[in-house]
Structure formats: C-alpha cells, structure tokens
Structure 1
Amino acid sequence: MASGYRRVAWALGALAMLTGASDVPGSNPIIRDKFTADPAPVVIGDTLYLYVGHDEAQRDEMFNMKEWLVYSTTDMKHWTDHGPIMKVSDFKWAKADAWASQVIPRNGKFYFYAAVEHDRTHPGKAIAVAVADTPTGPFRDAKGAALITNEMTPKGTHSWEDIDPTVLTDDDGTTWIAWGNRQCYIARLKPNMIEIDGPITEITPPHFEEGPWLHKRGKVYYLTYASLDRAKHRDERISYSTAPSIKGPWTYRGELTGSGKYSFTIHPGIVEYKKNWYLFLHNANLAIGDLNGAIGRRAVTVERLHYNPDGTMKPVVQTAAGVSAPAS
C-alpha cells in the first residue's frame, strides 16, 4: 500500500507540474477563492498557521487591503479558512492599508504585528501591535497607539519606510523586530511585546527593497527579504543575508529566488514544520471570476526549502506544483 500511495502522489505531482496551476492539493497558489499576499507562517503545536493580507483591488486599483486573514494546515496540502482576524478599522488611530503582518507566540498569548497607514497625527506608514489568546483571535489593539511611527526613523528617505514587520524570539528569550522599505531597521522589544527596548539600528543589506523575514537555524541567523537591483531587474526577487548573531555582522548571500510570476512585489515567509523547511511567497498568477492577478491581486504560494552543509540556502525555483510534487 505504501508504495502504491507513493506512486499516486508522484503522479499527482507530475500532473501539477505539467498542467501548471491545478486543483491538486498542495499545488500553487494554495488559496484560490481570494487574492492573498504577504504570507507569514507560524507553527503552534502540530498546526501551521498562515497569516495573509486580503487583496481586494478592483479593475483600476493598485492596492485595496482592509483586513488580515488566517489559514491553518496539518499536512501542508489542505488549508482551513478561519476568516478575518482583524481589520484596519480595529486600530482606531489607523486609516488604511492592511499590509504585511506576522504573529508570534509569547507569554501564553499571540502577538500580531502589522503595517498600516497612520492617521494625520503621525503621517506615514506605521507598525501596529495586537494581541489574542488564540492563534485565530479575536485580536485586539494591544497598545492603543502605534508601536513604530515614521518619526522614529528620521533618517529614512520616504514616508512608507516603516512597513513589513518581522519578529524573532532568540534563545535567550529576547524578542527582536525588523522592518522597512529601502532601509531595513531592527530593534529589541520589551518583555511586554508592545514597546521598543533600546535603540533602533539600521541593517540595510544589498538591494533591500522591503519584506524582511528573520529566522534562525542552528547557530545561523537569516535575514531574507524582497530585493530589487534596479540596474538589472524591474520586479522584486528574494535575497538573503546571514549572521552569527542577531546583532550581526550580516553577510550578503545573494538571491534565493527569482520574481513572482506576473508580480512586481514578492514577500518571503520561512518556517520549519514537521522536520521540513518551507518558503512562502506570493505571485499574481491567479484569476478569480473576471479579475486577473495584478499588483494588487496577488496569490500566496509555497515551496520546499533546503540548506547546504555550510548553512546557506539552496536556490528555490517557483513552481505550479509546489509541495504537491514529490520531495527531492
């Protein structure tokens, strides 16, 4: 029976690779009934939860994002939709843009960090923090004010640099947050998870555009991000740097993937789940009804991720088969 199951699994994976995006469980994009973007995975127990922004742009819109959604899986192939966990309007001081987010467990609760547009009291993009008792919410504003505002990074070049938060709790129990657009910043969080503890430091790696993601494997720290070498490319790719400490020094390791199909933007989310590593991304290779994928209508994908013996990550080829293809 086991060998027969493997043959069926291989055949399904091969079919997905030959036919492009399909309905084979685990093939890309993994969510087909909504446009989703900026994937942020987290493992809680035996379940992987995936937080995404909801792209609702119509014909002539670039972005229209009002809420964040969460999905879960226990096999990487079948996903349960838990619906919206928050809306921008839940942050009374924010006025628009449910952009990239990430959730992290801490102190028996779940903390949600997200990029939004602040109201006119602190113009520009800002980072919000919310909290819940379960991974699926309900989440509530944990601070009643922004965690990070544009005034806190005065050396930046534009008002939307404070976006795309990523959080990592280190082995010593300290939690760090990184974020940015064009400039990449990092800071330590206080144990209460809703205040910055100490200075904000710039750690901008080569070709950094946005979408940083922090993770650790063994003794190596990884900063993976959406990159754009404007002299060579029109669309974002994924690049990464590594370091022996969260404080650096960071060493540039080059590109991890090419651009997402039909998409100017791309956004990494990396996680280990059931002894395998995965890279979540997004592209614009999805049509729903009469709406095709576009800069504001993206679709989340996932690929297996592998490491070299020296700790560097092997380049990832984005596929339609995704994790429905046999593991190599």
Structure 2
Amino acid sequence: MTAFFNPIIKHKYTADPTVISYGDRVYLYTGHDDPPPGVDDYVMNDWCSFSSNDLMNWEEHPTPLKATDFSWASGDAFASNVVCRDHIFHWYVAVSHRSTFGKAIGVAVSDRPTGPFTDAKGSALITGDMLPCPTTEKANLDPSVVMDDIGQAYLFWGNTTCFYAKLKANMMDLDSDIKVVEVPAFSEGAHVFKRNGWYYLMYGYGFPEAVAYAMSRSVHGPWKFKGIVNKVPYNCETNRPAVLDFKGESYFFYHNGAMKNGGSHRRSVCLDFLYYNGDGTIAPIVMTDEGITGNAG
C-alpha cells in the first residue's frame, strides 16, 4: 500500500500555512481546525508550530500561541503570517476582537522561532473602524508581510477587498494610510513575497477558492494579473498558500480536506514543488498525493 506524503501533518488538522527558513531549518506555522464531533464550522483556538531540515520529516513544537494570548481578543485563531527581522520573530494574526466589531489583526513577538510568543502591543494593530471603505465583519483576515530591498515592511490582508499599508520600523504600527489593491475576484488568503525583482501577490480567487496571482515591479503596484496558479483544493472550499525557497528548490504550501473525516472545516497542510518560468511567471502548480517525495525538475 502506497504511503502518501500529503498531507504532511497527519495526526491533527492543520490549515493556513505560513513558513520561514532560519538557519538550516524550515519553520512551519499553521492554524488548527478543532471542531467537536458533529460540528461543521470553523473552530480554531490556537496555532501550531513544526520544523524540519529536509521538508520530509517534521518535528512538532509546543503550542506557541493562542488567540486568547491577546487580552483584547475574544478568540478565533484565523490565518496568520510569521516574518523574521533582526532575529526577532513577528507573528501577524487575525482574531475576533473583544469590544470592536469584527475581526482584527494583532502581532506577537518572540526571540525564538518556536516561541513562546507574546502580544507585542497589548492592543490590535488593525480594527474594522480603521478601514477606508465599507466592509464586512471578516474584512481583517489573513495578514501577510513583505519587505522591500531596503527593509521597509508592508502588510497586506483582507476579505473580499485586499488592503495594504506600510509598517513602521518597529513592525507593530502602521506608517501610512490603508490603501486598496485592485485585483480580480479577490476573496481572501493574501500571500505576498518578493523574488528576483518581482513582487508576487497570491490570493484566494472566487469561491470555492482557487489561487490566483499578480505580479508587480513595485510593492505599490500596478499589479498585473497573471491568472490561476492552483486549482480549488480537494474537498475544501478555501485555499491560503505560502511559498518558500529552500536549498535550491521552490515550494508551495497549501491546505486541503484530504485527511479522514476532513473537509472545509477540518483541513490539512500539504506541500508540492513550485516552478518559475524564465520571465518570472509561475507554472501551474500540480497538487499531488506524493508531494515532494518524487524527483524535482
């Protein structure tokens, strides 16, 4: 019987991957779907942490962060993004605010990639009343941070509308007005990164969510839409990607509903190769059961 590689975490439900390399290891942070039996809804109370030096064998670390570690949050550990700056790890999360309508974005910090992480501000970085246009209560979902060549950081996020803003050097406060990014059929799940002079904006496209992407030479745009790069995942309506270059290869992290009793509210993180064309565009990503156990190239 074939032992499939995907999903890469098989003992619990994981979703919404964010991933970094630090030293000679890769650190994977995920959401944690944990609905009780008979409940078919999003129940997410904490985030998970794993690491690997080969992307094949993953070590789990103690739970590094919970939604209620933010005293101003009422719960709900939605999609997140971890970035490292000056050997400090900044974890941007979406949670439900205790006293302000809707979801909010917070940031936690640690001097170790495995945590523990603590609330950096004692208050939300972004709340619904800060947004420049009418929104839904889920507007502040799925933060993603990218840094330009001089180390200036920018935060992207959103649900139905994609927003972005400049961050101060402390990585904990905004340093600009919040602006709207215009890309087709934006649903949620923004993931922004820079590679070889290009900025890439991946995001959930339509619903159920495929992953589309746009490219720009500037973090401020204009963004040129490049199309669908990843189809709707198996047995799952959502799709939040993460991209990593590690030891000469490029990788695409995502989630699906392939584990036993899985689905849109019991998701599992998967990993496949990602390939770039000569002009910097991305070849269509093939989601496989075998994952990276096959040969690259």
> TM-score per shorter chain, which class?
over 0.9
Give RMSD over aligned pairs.
1.1
1:46 Cα shift?
1.1
Match status 1:53 vs 2:31 = yes
CA distance, structure 1, for counterparts of residue 247 and residue 148 of structure 2: 20
Q: Determine the structure 1 residue equivalent to 2:58.
A: 79
Q: Determine the structure 2 residue equivalent to 1:209.
A: 187
Q: Which structure has more helix as a fraction of its residues?
A: 1
Check whether the contact 2:132–2:179 (CA below 8 A) recurs between aligned residues. Answer: no
Q: Which runs of 5+ in 1 are unaligned?
A: 1-14, 229-233
Q: Determine the structure 1 residue equivalent to 2:250.
A: 277
Residue number among 92, 100, 105 corresponding to 1:127 in the alignment: 105
Q: Trace 1:78-227 onto structure 2 (pairs within 5 A).
A: 78-120=57-99, 122-227=100-205
CA distance, structure 2, for counterparts of residue 252 and residue 80 of structure 1: 37
Check whether the contact 1:156–1:183 (CA below 8 A) recurs between aligned residues. Answer: no
Q: Who wins on radius of gyration, i.e. which is larger?
A: 1
Sequence identity, in percent? 41
User: What secondary structure, in the 3-state scheme, does the structure 1 residue paired with 2:129 have?
Assistant: helix
Task: Write the deviation string for residues 28-76 of structure 1: whole angstroms up to 9, x where unpaired.
Answer: 0000000000000111111110110110012223111000111011111
Structure 1 counterpart of 2:144, which letter? Answer: T
Match status 1:257 vs 2:235 = no
User: What secondary structure, in the 3-state scheme, does the structure 1 residue paired with 2:250 have?
Assistant: strand
Q: Determine the structure 2 residue equivalent to 1:8.
A: none
Q: Trace 1:35-46 onto structure 2 (pairs within 5 A).
A: 35-46=13-24
CA distance, structure 2, for counterparts of residue 272 and residue 83 of structure 1: 25
Match status 1:316 vs 2:285 = yes
1:235 Cα shift?
1.6
1:96 Cα shift?
1.6
Residue number among 46, 68, 71 corresponding to 2:47 in the alignment: 68
1:199 Cα shift?
1.1
User: What secondary structure, in the 3-state scheme, does the structure 2 residue paired with 1:114 have?
Assistant: strand
Match status 1:300 vs 2:269 = yes
1:154 Cα shift?
4.2
Task: Write the deviation string for residues 75-109 of structure 1: whole angstroms up to 9, x where unpaired.
Answer: 11000001211111100100121011111111331
Kindly indicate whether structure 1 or structure 2 has the higher relative contact order, using CA contacts under 8 Å at least 6 residues apart.
1
Q: 1:305 to 1:155 in 2, by over 3 A?
A: same
CA distance, structure 1, for counterparts of residue 181 and residue 281 of structure 2: 19
Q: TM-score, normalized by length of structure 2?
A: 0.97
Structure 2 counterpart of 1:45, which letter? Answer: G
CA distance, structure 2, for counterparts of residue 325 and residue 191 of structure 1: 42
CA distance, structure 1, for counterparts of residue 17 and residue 122 of structure 2: 25
Structure 2 counterpart of 1:38, which letter? Answer: D
Q: TM-score, normalized by length of structure 1?
A: 0.88
